Structure 1
Amino acid sequence: MALRVPTAILFSFAILPLAFYLGRDRQSTSCRCFPGEPCWPSPEQWDNLNASLSGNLIATAPIGSVCHTNTSFAPYSSQRCAELLSHWSIPATHYQDPSSPMAAWWANFSCSPFSAGCTLGPLAHYVANVTCAQDIQEVLRFTTKHNIRLSIRNTGHDYLGKSTAPGSIALWTHNLKSIEYKPNYTASWYAGPALRVGAGVQGREAQDAAHRSGNGHVIVSAHSPDVGFAGGYTQGGGHGPLASRYGLAADQVLEWEVVTAKGEILTASPAQNADLYWALAGGGGGAFAVVLGVTVRMHAEERTASASLVFPFDAADARAWEVIRTFLLAALPLADAGGTALWVLYPGPTAVTFIGGPFVLPGAGAEDLQSYLAPTLELLREYEMGYDFSINTYPTYHASVATAAVNVTEFHVGGALVPRSTIHSNPNGFISTLQEILRHKAAISSYSMNVSRPINSPVSANAVSPAWRNAAVSLLLGIPFNYTNRQVNVENQRLMTDVLLPQVSALVGPGEQGAYLNEADFNQPNWQSLFYGENYNRLLKIKQKYDPKQIFYGRTAVGSERWVEHGNGRLCPV
């Protein structure tokens, strides 16, 4: 079980409150039991756990083992290895497996088709295929009794490695696929249609169910259809094509159904266990409780305009940057009108490609969306720059949504929330920063949006970072992962942490710094303030209340500064 965690991981203690020092019991002051140690359960004890789970305890076998000889996992098969290689970069390859990380960094060269050998490395030692709340309770009893590390995994769509834990038991919630339409949900702040989805439901599944319900509805879900809906996505805030119109995914939550660290099954809403509701809605996944399901409000289907724009350009061409500047400024009123714009700057061998789309404007037609994009298109024509543009009006939002999976596996990532004030008052400085990032051959993927004024207010108070309410762009940087050279990957992670992200931060005033905690650099030194903002102290107190023994741990999750991962992945208190 050898995980070599980069020594560059830093922790900031600048804002630790008194709660950090409270409640340390025997378990939280000792290292988690690790495979091979005397404390590790016997085979008979593992068999007993398996029996209590109706045979749903899985001994982890890396999917890449079919490409290796002399392993204790799956036998070598050249045919199966070739098949695996053909779809290794597709998210479904990993989310259909109980343990394979979707982000390549977290497999850490342990057992992929490209690695020299095959070990469990950073993967969970066992996986519990969760079918009900009782399964979670059984695993919690077992891990608490034996002081074993616990991890929570649905799809493994996770840039920060929260769902990957060496020497752990993983709660695999992927098969909790229940969906229930509630046409007349009533709460103190909301009355109307709602959708309850189990923890394993993915974004496209939830969106399809909403579309089929009643006369047709929509929910706020991610651009990528593969993302697990109730887990880190919604718990971390959750943006998507409908975010400017209705708010973040966390803003939609009516109630959570959870299992706490003590094994209690609770409903958390603004009326019951309100503090836990507040923390789960934006305070990050894997920190407070195991989510069984979430109930969210739905919105009526309506016609939707969607467009795409692609053009290649020379990075040294000032005209192209004037086009991009025009687009960025035009995206501000588009977001104010309830629209969103996904755009990518992708550096190639000879040119950079601007890949825009979908640009989405709900409740509108193509002519409305075209009016926001017209200045950009006019400038492209004036400069005689070649481009591909398409725009359509769809009868429903559901009809406008692409079904293709989005590849998220093969990049080192880091992110930042860029406030509206920066784009509005210093667009040239922002453009200069983008140019400098591209010089390092990093891709730039961004969402332009405005989640400060969603319609269908009010929104119940939640733990979403205040930086979101001022953000105009959620910026995500990506450096390609190298499958054969680990040192190159380490250097690229340092480039992200030490060079690229500080350039973005330099543009933003000290009171407006922020990052989307689902799409961020796991090495971020000041992650408490950057990911959670002024909410962090309150979140720590809620963590202490519901998880006093620190059962739940995830990198950069609330309370994780109390722990450190050693070179082999063993988790110990600081």
Structure 2
Amino acid sequence: MQHLGISTSHSSPHLIFICQWPCILSLKMLRLCLFPLLLLPCTLAVNFAWENIQLDPSESLIYPAIRFADPSPSRPTPPCKTIPGDLDWPSEEEWVRFNDTLGGVLLKPRPLAAVCYAGSAYDGEKCDEVTRGWGSTKLQYFRRPNIDHVPMGVGKRLCTHIRPKLDLHTRWLAVNFARNMKIRLVVKTSGHDPNGKSIGGYSLSIWTYSLRSLTYFPTYTSISPSYSGQAVALGAGIRAADGSVAMSQYNFTMSIAGGSTVGLSGGYMQGGGHSIYTSYFGLIADHVLSIQAVLANGDFVTLDGETGKDLFWAFRGGGGGTFGVITSMVVKVFPRTSIASSSITFSTLPSRDSITGLSVETFWAGVKAYFGYCIAICDAGGIGYNFIRHATSGNNTGLTFTTSISLPNYTRQESQSFTRPLLVSLSNLGIPVTVPPAQRLANHDTQ
């Protein structure tokens, strides 16, 4: 047995109560600390400290709204969830009691644009700032945790207040309360979901973004899936940027998202989880060794290839927030693997190399040639992120194609040799492509 001191980042879960606007459980991040680990021949489960603070079933005897699900065969339930105005919607007193049970963690965040309207929140200077930046996704993403688009005619309804709390107990309470009160429940990690599955009107939302704990295992052994090697335990809020830091610190490689703020355990993994290493190592869903989750009935479970194997299979690609609330997961990681990357660009717009630019026909012929080469890229374990954009140059408008071909475990010279047949094909079409020298990255850098 070997005791290790592993640097682990701890932070806390967020609950969001959404009326017309989502409300958030905004939780403070804890400072870095040393977390002692015991390496055993076979690791069955990894609990972070905040996963050990669990709900005692006896609490529901005092407060039935947080009771666990009835284990008897399920009965038919109404097809619709409760919304404000329904007789079954919790009263203000009920919300206050729930908030007290949580330890005072319900929030009442104002909409971002509230500074532009008459009332205590009005601020002309901040209103100008919001108005100028309203089209910015960064403003929308980083400046507020709620959704402020309200259906017409719903009136002025805001939500209750939330303060930080760090434990699994709050999630249990949220899942049980939402189920028993027939309120829609949604789960959000970082909110990178164009389909909007991480939000929901009139819902209780569990926000996992600040559960930023990470523990590295130099040796981890799993029975099912059968594995022995390096692994990391990731709290539900670990982002790609955190994964990138860990890769540099512990000298390993793992599949992470290209966007630095994407949460790895949320919709990213639960939707499959592609990365720059996908053709080489596979999706991150392929690398999961175990999952800790709270299910809809309130049970806190550890899932792997033997225990709860159907749910373990479903979580890994079945969609974010579909089967339960993931609190953490363990994934296998790989020896440090460098990447050689080269870029290609061509356009119908004039450039320094061409006064007239490509014809539209030649442009699309070049795109076709590139996609014809994609099979070779994937077979080589590489990946090519590519974009076709409308672009302008002076008074001219046109199309621009760009791609970055990334090849894990290739040298610069090998990368240049690999892309040469594609460059010859483009040249034969009359597309003069100048490729910058290939770059060799020590690991995957998030974009």
TM over 0.5: yes
Give, as a single letter, the amino acid of the residue that structure 2 aligns with 1:201.
Answer: I
Partner of 2:113: 64
CA distance in 2, matches of 1:81, 1:222: 34
Q: Are the equivalent residues in 2 in contact too, given 1:125–1:166 (CA < 8 A)?
A: no
Structure 1 residues 132, 95: closer, same or farther in 2, change over 3 A? Answer: farther
CA distance in 2, matches of 1:119, 1:158: 27
Partner of 2:267: 232
Partner of 1:198: 235
**What is the count of residue pairs matched by the alignment?**
364
1:402 CA drift (Å): 4.8
Structure 1 residues 274, 256: closer, same or farther in 2, change over 3 A? Answer: same
Cα deviation, 1:239-263, whole Å, max 9, x if unaligned, reads 1100000001110101101011122
Partner of 1:468: none
Structure 1 residues 60, 125: closer, same or farther in 2, change over 3 A? Answer: same
CA distance in 2, matches of 1:162, 1:125: 22
Alignment TM-score, normalising by the size of structure 2: 0.73
CA distance in 1, matches of 2:160, 2:104: 16
1:285 CA drift (Å): 1.3
Partner of 1:527: none
Helix, strand or coil at the partner of 1:239? coil
Helix, strand or coil at the partner of 1:51? helix
Partner of 1:369: 415
CA distance in 2, matches of 1:368, 1:203: 28
1:329 paired with 2:376, answer: no
Partner of 2:406: 360
1:338 CA drift (Å): 0.7
Structure 1 unaligned segments of length 5 or more: list them.
Answer: 4-22, 101-106, 404-574
Helix, strand or coil at the partner of 1:59? coil
1:37 CA drift (Å): 2.5
Helix, strand or coil at the partner of 1:351? strand
Helix, strand or coil at the partner of 1:278? helix
Structure 1 residues 367, 316: closer, same or farther in 2, change over 3 A? Answer: same
CA distance in 2, matches of 1:270, 1:133: 24
Give, as a single letter, the amino acid of the residue that structure 2 aligns with 1:289.
Answer: G
Higher relative contact order structure (alpha carbons within 8 Å, sequence separation ≥ 6): 1
Partner of 2:360: 317
Q: Are the equivalent residues in 2 in contact too, given 1:195–1:296 (CA < 8 A)?
A: yes
1:38 paired with 2:87, answer: yes
Q: Are the equivalent residues in 1 in contact too, given 2:113–2:130 (CA < 8 A)?
A: no
Structure 1 residues 127, 46: closer, same or farther in 2, change over 3 A? Answer: same
Partner of 2:75: 25
Give the fraction of aligned pairs with identical amino acids, expressed as a percent.
27
Cα deviation, 1:323-375, whole Å, max 9, x if unaligned, reads 22222122211211110000011123621110212x21111112222223223
Cα deviation, 1:444-498, whole Å, max 9, x if unaligned, reads xxxxxxxxxxxxxxxxxxxxxxxxxxxxxxxxxxxxxxxxxxxxxxxxxxxxxxx
Partner of 1:169: 204
CA distance in 2, matches of 1:168, 1:380: 53
Cα deviation, 1:501-532, whole Å, max 9, x if unaligned, reads xxxxxxxxxxxxxxxxxxxxxxxxxxxxxxxx
CA distance in 2, matches of 1:117, 1:355: 46
Structure 1 residues 149, 308: closer, same or farther in 2, change over 3 A? Answer: same
1:130 CA drift (Å): 6.6
1:210 paired with 2:260, answer: no
1:301 paired with 2:333, answer: no
Structure 1 residues 95, 286: closer, same or farther in 2, change over 3 A? Answer: farther
CA distance in 2, matches of 1:346, 1:43: 51
Q: Are the equivalent residues in 1 in contact too, given 2:343–2:403 (CA < 8 A)?
A: yes
CA distance in 1, matches of 2:105, 2:328: 20
Q: Are the equivalent residues in 2 in contact too, given 1:217–1:299 (CA < 8 A)?
A: yes
Structure 1 residues 142, 118: closer, same or farther in 2, change over 3 A? Answer: closer
Helix, strand or coil at the partner of 2:257? coil
Structure 1 residues 252, 218: closer, same or farther in 2, change over 3 A? Answer: same
Determine which of 94, 99, 102 is the counterpart of 1:53. Answer: 102
Structure 1 residues 194, 157: closer, same or farther in 2, change over 3 A? Answer: same
Structure 2 unaligned segments of length 5 or more: list them.
Answer: 1-18, 22-72, 350-357
Structure 1 residues 239, 90: closer, same or farther in 2, change over 3 A? Answer: same
CA distance in 2, matches of 1:316, 1:140: 58
1:287 CA drift (Å): 1.2
Structure 1 residues 148, 306: closer, same or farther in 2, change over 3 A? Answer: same
Q: Are the equivalent residues in 2 in contact too, given 1:334–1:340 (CA < 8 A)?
A: yes
Structure 1 residues 36, 81: closer, same or farther in 2, change over 3 A? Answer: farther
Determine which of 376, 379, 396 is the counterpart of 2:442. Answer: 396
CA distance in 1, matches of 2:197, 2:234: 22
Cα deviation, 1:301-337, whole Å, max 9, x if unaligned, reads 1222012222212785322222222221222112111
Q: Are the equivalent residues in 2 in contact too, given 1:61–1:120 (CA < 8 A)?
A: no
Give, as a single letter, the amino acid of the residue that structure 2 aligns with 1:197.
Answer: L
1:181 CA drift (Å): 0.7
Q: Are the equivalent residues in 2 in contact too, given 1:127–1:169 (CA < 8 A)?
A: no
Give, as a single letter, the amino acid of the residue that structure 2 aligns with 1:25.
Answer: R
Partner of 2:145: 98
CA distance in 2, matches of 1:196, 1:388: 43
CA distance in 1, matches of 2:196, 2:429: 45
Helix, strand or coil at the partner of 2:435? strand
Structure 1 residues 81, 139: closer, same or farther in 2, change over 3 A? Answer: farther
Helix, strand or coil at the partner of 1:226? coil
Structure 1 residues 85, 300: closer, same or farther in 2, change over 3 A? Answer: farther
Determine which of 366, 389, 405 is the counterpart of 1:346. Answer: 389
Structure 1 residues 119, 310: closer, same or farther in 2, change over 3 A? Answer: farther
Alignment TM-score, normalising by the size of structure 1: 0.58
Helix, strand or coil at the partner of 2:215? strand
Helix, strand or coil at the partner of 2:321? coil
1:281 paired with 2:304, answer: no
Q: Are the equivalent residues in 1 in contact too, given 2:133–2:139 (CA < 8 A)?
A: no
Partner of 1:254: 289
Q: Are the equivalent residues in 1 in contact too, given 2:176–2:296 (CA < 8 A)?
A: no
Cα deviation, 1:82-138, whole Å, max 9, x if unaligned, reads 1574385244741563224xxxxxx6x549xxxx999889x9888796732111111
Partner of 2:122: 75
Helix, strand or coil at the partner of 1:75? coil
CA distance in 2, matches of 1:212, 1:92: 31
Structure 1 window deviating more from structure 2 (179-188 vs 387-396): it is 387-396
Q: Which has the higher helix share?
A: 1
Structure 1 residues 264, 2: closer, same or farther in 2, change over 3 A? Answer: closer
Q: Are the equivalent residues in 2 in contact too, given 1:256–1:269 (CA < 8 A)?
A: yes
Q: Are the equivalent residues in 1 in contact too, given 2:106–2:160 (CA < 8 A)?
A: no
CA distance in 2, matches of 1:299, 1:333: 24
